[in-house]
Amino acid sequence: MSPATRIINPATEQVIAEVPIGGVEETDEAVARALAAGPAWQAVAPADRARLMRRFAAQVEEHAEELAQLETANVGKPIAESRDEVGMVAEVLYFYAGAVDKHRGATVPVSGGVDMTFHEPLGVVGAIIPWNFPVAITSWKVGPALATGNTIVVKPAEITPLSAVRLAELALDAGLPEGVLQVVTGKGSVVGTRLAEHPDVAKIAFTGSTEVGREVMARASGTIKRVTLELGGKSASVVFADADLAKAAASAPGGVFSNGGQDCCARSRILVQRSVLDEFLDLLADAVLAWTVGDPTDPDSKMGPMVTAAHRGVVAGFLDEGMGAPGGPVSAHTTGAVPDGPGFWYPPTVVAPADPDWRMAREEIFGPIVAVIPFEDEADAVRLANDTPFGLSGSIWTRDSARSLRMARAIHAGNLSVNSNSSVRVQTSFGGMKQSGFGRELGLEALSSYSEVKNVFVSTVD
């Protein structure tokens, strides 16, 4: 029998499935099938390719509850979040089905002839997926890759492969040809590395940590692969004294603790203008204590457990260390409640006022801990917000619209919201600046990351 990964439900600590550990051989076989499937997939008439993608989306809708339950059991995320994310998967597939025949080339004014451009598919795409949003992030890569005529091999995170495996089955049920969308389960260091180095893989679409992204980029350079990287973050929510403080505080837990803080867009720093710090912290404490942590299958739970015991240990380590401020330990300002019994629980925690130089205020925690840091004025807020190697996301809370635009232009991050913590929409581009990565997913922008512009000049000179 081939070796298998035991998949654990992080809320119950029970084994819920066993999944094969693919190796180099399985990866190579999948890439060979994807390569062979390419020409026929590219020859499918655009309207028919769009139709197949819509059927795929309809399959997802038909199996939405099954997929959501699978995601919740595997990742430990609240069922309400899983349902939203599966809904997004269908929406992504419909969006890119609609884009199949709208991703047009151009005619370019030149002398001596006619010049035109084509958007050509890249070939085989390798998609490497993290464990925090397995099914949603898979769809962000599958949608634009298939719409532009590529075939795709998906490598889910070793600990959360179940929804991607099911998604590929639904694609076949919808009528997508064999080999167009495949999933290879296994270790990143084996399957992921092989995809990054494989000579027949034209592009790696990677989402994960900055550390692994750096390695993937280096390995992909051997064959000059196209690479897009969606990496980590240390995003700031900036709250000015003139903001609707009640709204900013009530929204804050959702901005940092949703998915247990295991979110690349988590606003794990809240910068608050000093004159309203105490008022804001009181309001925030109420909101955090109302952020219920519990059984993720309960629709009223707002937060589930950490994904593994090991990850909970990493999160806890940040607090222990981060609290060792010069002059002695500081205690958390607010700590939420967690259930007893099995499950990798960690409470929502507010540290305030935090020093911007503490490790917890500088590195990605990927857990439910937020550092509240005071600032003096707008210039100070910009300096603190940008004082990070990351640049993924962030929020600006103010009633002054001119200030909101000045801040939005000054903060170096790919996705900002004003008076909101929303980061991701199907129709709008998503991606990072600085060490949060490059390339854009979602929106029409993603199509250009999965295609190559070819220029053709036709002489009209006799």
In the bound complex, what is the minimum distance in angstroms from residue 77's beta carbon to ligand NAD?
A: 13
Interface of this chain with ligand NAD, residues 367 to 426, rule: CB under 6 A: 392
Whichever of 174 and 392 has its CB closer to ligand NAD, that residue is 392
* Per-residue binding letters, 114-143, with ligand NAD (x by CB under 6 A): --------------xxxxxx----------
Alpha carbon 282 to its chain centroid, in Å, reads 31
Alpha carbon 145 to its chain centroid, in Å, reads 16
Token digits of residue 278:
């105490």
Interaction of residue 152 with ligand NAD, rule CB under 6 A: no
Q: Is 401 exposed, middle or buried (0-12, 13-18, 19+ CB in 10 A)?
A: exposed
Q: Is 42 exposed, middle or buried (0-12, 13-18, 19+ CB in 10 A)?
A: middle
| Contact status, residue 21 vs residue 187, Cβ threshold 8 Å | yes
- Part of the chain binding ligand NAD (CB under 6 A), chosen from 46-54, 151-159, 173-181, 347-355: 151-159
d(CA 258, CA 243): 22
Interaction of residue 188 with ligand NAD, rule CB under 6 A: yes
* Long-range pairs of 41-48 with CB within 8 A, sequence gap ≥ 24: 41/146, 41/149, 41/150, 41/151, 41/177, 41/180, 42/121, 42/149, 46/100, 46/101, 47/100, 47/101
Interaction of residue 215 with ligand NAD, rule CB under 6 A: yes
Interaction of residue 212 with ligand NAD, rule CB under 6 A: yes
Which is catalytic among the residues 26, 81, 85, 264? 264
For the question of residue 211 being annotated catalytic, the response is no
Q: From the list 208, 304, 367, 439, which residue makes contact with ligand NAD (rule: CB under 6 A)? A: 208
* DSSP class of 129: -
Q: From the list 26, 71, 197, 230, which residue makes contact with ligand NAD (rule: CB under 6 A)? A: 230
In the bound complex, what is the minimum distance in angstroms from residue 195's beta carbon to ligand NAD?
A: 7
Whichever of 56 and 430 has its CB closer to ligand NAD, that residue is 430
Name every residue whose Cβ is closer than 8 Å to that of residue 131 and which is 6 or more positions away in sequence: 75, 156, 157, 159, 160, 307
Closest to 321 in 3D by CA, of 277, 266, 288, 369 = 369
Interaction of residue 158 with ligand NAD, rule CB under 6 A: yes
For the question of residue 230 being annotated catalytic, the response is yes
- Part of the chain binding ligand NAD (CB under 6 A), chosen from 33-41, 202-210, 355-363, 398-406: 202-210
d(CA 121, CA 370): 42
Q: What is the DSSP string of 419-431?
A: S------TTS-B-
Cα Dmax for the chain? 85
Interaction of residue 366 with ligand NAD, rule CB under 6 A: yes
Interaction of residue 350 with ligand NAD, rule CB under 6 A: no
In the bound complex, what is the minimum distance in angstroms from residue 115's beta carbon to ligand NAD?
A: 36
- Part of the chain binding ligand NAD (CB under 6 A), chosen from 104-112, 201-209, 241-249, 343-351: 201-209
Known catalytic residues are 230, 264
Residues binding ligand NAD (CB under 6 A): 128-133, 155, 157-158, 188-189, 192-193, 196, 207-209, 212, 215-216, 230-233, 264, 364, 366, 392, 432, 436-437
